[in-house]
Copies of this chain bind each other. A is one copy, B any other.
Amino acid sequence: MPNRKLIYHVAISIDGFIAQENGDIEYFPKEGGHIPDYIQALTKYDTALMGRMTYEFGYRYGLQPGDNPYPHMQTYVYSTKLRLETPDHNLKIIRENILFHVRRLKEKPGPPLYLCGGGILASYLLKHQMIDELHLKYCPIIMGKGKPLFVDEFQGIQLVLKDKKEYDNSVLLLEYDIAYE
Contacts and interface: CB of A to CB of B under 8 A. Distances in A.
A153 B164 contact: no
A156 B26 contact: yes
A117 interface: no
Q: Chain A contact residues (Cβ within 8 angstroms of B): what range?
A: 35 or more
A176 interface: yes
A172 interface: yes
B140 A176 contact: yes
Tallying the copies of this chain within the complex gives 2
Given A159-B170, A164-B166, A176-B170, A143 B136 contact: no
A144 B152 contact: yes
A49 interface: no
Contact of A161 (B15, B123, B172): B172
A163 to B, nearest CB: 11
A170 B136 CA distance: 14
A17 interface: yes
A160 interface: yes
A158 interface: yes
A150 B15 contact: yes
Nearest to A148: B15
A42 interface: no
A126 interface: yes
Nearest to A149: B15
Contacts of A140: 158-161, 176
4 A-B pairs with least C-beta separation: A16-B16, A27-B156, A140-B159, A161-B170
